[in-house]
Chains A and B, each alone.
Chain A
């Protein structure tokens, strides 16, 4: 009897096993990963990551939300589906003043909200002012700080007026404003018709100080001169009307910056700058984003919303571009578990997944087996370890260099499969023009500093020199290959801090192993849940190393280099350096791109000589889409302009070998894009012709 029971159990076991094996087998044989049938209802089902924080584009800060906002709301410009450069959206064309501080947008005249209300320049003024209002406490507000007086308004600051009724000016009081953005002497040029507001906003920048006496007292403590200066002055609050945005007429919208920022136009595609309906928000208050109230401005509108389950969008027929929108709707699913979404994808329940979703261990297999679906493309995201540079022993630059040199970054990249080693601080392959400038600067600097080519090339991995440097710093490494020891290194004063995630863990374990192997130092690992990790990192409470990643906010190297700008102090290393700050300030004053990049490259070189970070890897996109979903590209930010996406029912026309998808010309897509961009190119040509005409006589 016992035997039979055993047999039954064995039978069940082998049945289960054979099912497991067969289910793996079927997946490996097919041309596509799992069930691949083009949906006929015109609806794309997409997994976008965690549950959105809000449907209000000024509130949500993450990428999961950004993708939803791109469907629900339009802005002045939109991200190019392939390279993320700005392309026309609600602004059909624009011009920029010669000093780069004033932007004039010509809006479309047929734009409407989802309830049919027309969208005018006034709506943009309202949306910008609202997003910046201190009451909304938008965490992204900092992105708009280039707009004149926006920071002052957002932080509740005041102007200072003397007894004669004149406002004190900024330059006279301090060389920099609070965000650490340099104040620039500019030629006062403008575009478009002159207005009262234009005159006001082009006056020299006024001084703004903290709005409350309490906070001003704090400022006085730091700067005693300021107290004398402000004594007996009148304080005038900065109002939303002071912010540098203006409706010149119904369809002309003007923005004034406090400094030229060559990447500002690209920044305007960001969710923070999307247009929202004033009438709905004023009617419903904070409840305006509820599905029953919400009014949107984008190509899609909310049909049904079940948080933590589904967000259903349908095409908005009121949208100005509705005739070019090919999808009937989008279903967003908030999911975070990688295996679960891969299962849904395999079962054909979803058509595409967001970035970094294929589990690391699967990538090699998936990449080889499903070349028509797996997206491996450059991404504007880097990973590095920041170093707490004020605490010994890491306060010694030689120790920092030793640790950076003792990591085989190529092996790390291999371990993480689709990633590439990060050599310097800004990633390779994202800003080609900047990289050229950087190469030149590096060549000059190497000669200046007498660094051999060999040593420079080996900056990516040079354990020999690492040990030498560590010895020079007073921590001699003894032993031989495979068995190094560094007896007197204060191991209790360093650790590798990282927040919980599978790939962070793999990297941290690898780093620990590398330093053990190459320096004989076993740095303890310290894993923390995200919210515990954050303050420890940003307040530089950690010792040794902290894991950091950076996704570009806009397509310019400044998004990376600005991290170590003293007053922005986002780098979390405790480092602050006048020379570096000055270089960045100088770069931002420079309008010529090449010159500007050269200065930025000098700053990067200088910063890297200080070894504030251990550069690790540049990410690559890592997601899948079904081959029938077309017009959907792996751009560096994984942000999709949904109006280009469509479902191809004819399997002969499905995407093939998507590694080359960026080069391929899909006529349907290219035509739509060309038509969209044409308004701006035509406008530029027209202005050029006009300029030529005025120049000839």
Chain B
């Protein structure tokens, strides 16, 4: 197990470099430049810009330069936001995304797991239908619809919450609910499916046959195996949440990493794109490693050679 973890940790950096390289290639293939604007630049100014940022050098030199900087953890300055370093930008917006993302995921876990458990234990009953219907709302109604409707109700109907911008804990409520709605639906349905699978499996039947109480069976045996699909889903979901959730951020004017990243993509702000992608890929690999480790705890049958 320890060897497995070390191996996986060692692979993270080279993998991140590969991802960064591919992304770099894609940015170069994408049409447009960070400096292209509505007005045509005189040739001389464009030449100056290209020289300043080393764009006049052959591509392999530019690539080598980029990689050697990235290896040192230095992504340089944003091309769009003059004088702000990429590391600084990520460090500034990450906490916002982390708070929003984790609270939303916790709420989603609470709603999703309860709904999923109820549904699986009382399959095909009105509890099943009711729990699933509620949790599915977040899945069936887009979050760019849920958000504004919440605003209409809580900001302009009840005058309880500020409609947008981050200004203390109160302004987190609606973004968290909107975001949690989507994830709750996933978790509820994956829990229900996973639990139903497990509840009918041989070892649960054996446990039941042994005369263990229903609760013991559920908590000690079933829930572990039943959660595997949810756990699989949680890895990438959490990493994605850290990288921000653009729609919710836009609706609530929330300063998370998501809008920064989308803007960077649309601006062709190469250093910023590469920085966020590198961060995101490392997070994904770490979270997926945690997921794989937790498999082993949830299900003793899973072993890693």
Contacts and interface: CB of A to CB of B under 8 A. Distances in A.
Are any A and B Cβ atoms less than 8 Å apart in their complex? yes
Interface of A: 1-2, 5, 16, 19-20, 22-24, 26-27, 34, 50-51, 53-54, 56, 59, 61, 134-135, 137-139, 141-142, 151, 154-157, 178-179, 286-290, 306-309, 333, 335-337, 339-341, 343-344, 346-347, 349, 529-532, 534-536, 538, 568-570, 572
B255 A286 contact: no
Given A154-B45, A340-B250, A534-B36, 9 more contacts: A19-B158, A20-B152, A26-B156, A53-B80, A134-B44, A138-B45, A340-B164, A531-B266, A534-B32
B68 interface: no
Given A343-B151, A569-B40, A309 B83 contact: no
Contacts of B267: 531
A49 to B, nearest CB: 13
B148 interface: yes
B37 interface: yes
Contacts of A290: 83
A1 B126 CA distance: 8
B165 A308 contact: no
A289 B82 contact: yes
14 contacts: A19-B152, A19-B153, A23-B153, A53-B80, A53-B81, A137-B48, A306-B92, A309-B165, A346-B163, A347-B155, A347-B163, A535-B31, A568-B40, A569-B40
A341 B164 CA distance: 8
Given A531-B32, A535-B32, A347 B156 contact: yes
B157 interface: yes
A56 to B, nearest CB: 6
Nearest to B155: A347
Interface string B73-94: 0000100111110000100110
A684 to B, nearest CB: 34
A347 B149 contact: no
A256 B155 CA distance: 57
Contact of B48 (A16, A59, A134, A286): A134
Contacts of A178: 42, 44
Nearest to A529: B266
Given A339-B148, A347-B162, A155 B126 contact: no
A287 B92 contact: no
B266 A155 contact: no
B152 A337 contact: no
Closest 8 CB pairs of A and B: A531-B32, A155-B44, A54-B82, A343-B163, A19-B157, A23-B156, A23-B157, A308-B255
Contact of B82 (A56, A335, A343, A568): A56
Interface in B224-263: 250-253, 255, 259-260, 263
Contacts of A346: 156, 163
Given A51-B81, A141-B45, A569-B40, A532 B30 contact: yes
A61 B81 contact: no
B142 interface: no
Contacts of A2: 126
B156 A155 contact: no
B50 to A, nearest CB: 9
Interface string B184-207: 000000000000000000000000
A339 B32 CA distance: 29
A534 B157 CA distance: 43
B25 interface: no
Interface centre among B89, B151, B156, B251 (most CB of A within 10 A): B156
B42 A155 contact: yes
B33 interface: yes
A286 to B, nearest CB: 5
A50 B81 CA distance: 12
Contacts of A16: 149, 153
B42 A531 contact: no
Contacts of B36: 531, 534-535, 538
Contact of A179 (B42, B84, B156, B268): B42
Contacts of B54: none
Contacts of A1: 126
